[in-house]
Structure 1
Amino acid sequence: MTIYDLMTAFAVGLVCLLIWQNAGFRDRAIALAKQHCEHMDVQLLDDTVSLLSLRPKRDKRGNFSIARRYEFEFTATGDYRYRGEMTMMGKRLYDVELEPHRIH
């Protein structure tokens, strides 16, 4: 086994680890989006979120963390789809923004 083979195996393992870890964060993001939508008296559509960006960012304490931005769709009346975005710092919810929407 050469050093190239070891480096390739390490890179493949690292990519697999990141994909597996990101799936856990996505599940957490879905749960947080549902919770926030219930709190705002709107309905999360399709029970899904999609990753918009992933970047290092400083948290409120000045420590570096990975900021993940997700987007989702919701409805307030059942007639229209609106867009929402949420930012997570690590596993914690950092910010949620909902488009202006009609209230039933």
Structure 2
Amino acid sequence: MFEFFPWLIALAVMALFWWQSLGARWAARRAALAACENAEVTFIDELAFQRIWLGRGTLKRRYRFEFYRRGDRRYSGYVDMHGQRVAHIEMEPYPV
């Protein structure tokens, strides 16, 4: 019975990481949609995971997204997440 215990712990850790990643992605998507709505531009694509790194006791993730102003050109932006919290949103300059 105890030979399966390390596998169960590894499986639980992987499930926890997956669950937290989904939560961070949904929070980043809501933040990107809100930023696009506030800037009066159209959110085009779903978020694309760009990178993950370890920060002061938390995982940091960056998600990229695209938007357009008039439909002639796509612009990009990104959302930085620190754990489940939105840390920074930046959008490429676009014509007004």
TM-score w.r.t. the length of structure 2 is: 0.85
Runs of 4+ in 1 over 6 A off after TM superposition: none
Does 1:96 pair with 2:89? yes
In the alignment, what sits opposite 1:51? 49
2-structure distance, mates of 1:21, 1:97: 23
Task: Tell me the alpha carbon deviations over residues 15-34 of structure 1, each in whole angstroms, 9 at most, x when there is no partner.
Answer: 12211221111111110100
Unaligned runs of 5+ in 2: none
In the alignment, what sits opposite 2:36? 37
Higher relative contact order (CA 8 A, sep 6+): 2
Structure 1 residue corresponding to 2:79, chosen from 63, 67, 86: 86
> 1:91, CA displacement in angstroms?
2.5
In the alignment, is the contact (CA less than 8 A) between 2:24 and 2:85 conserved in 1? no
Unaligned runs of 5+ in 1: 59-63
TM-score w.r.t. the length of structure 1 is: 0.79
Alignment length (residue pairs):
96
> 1:73, CA displacement in angstroms?
0.7
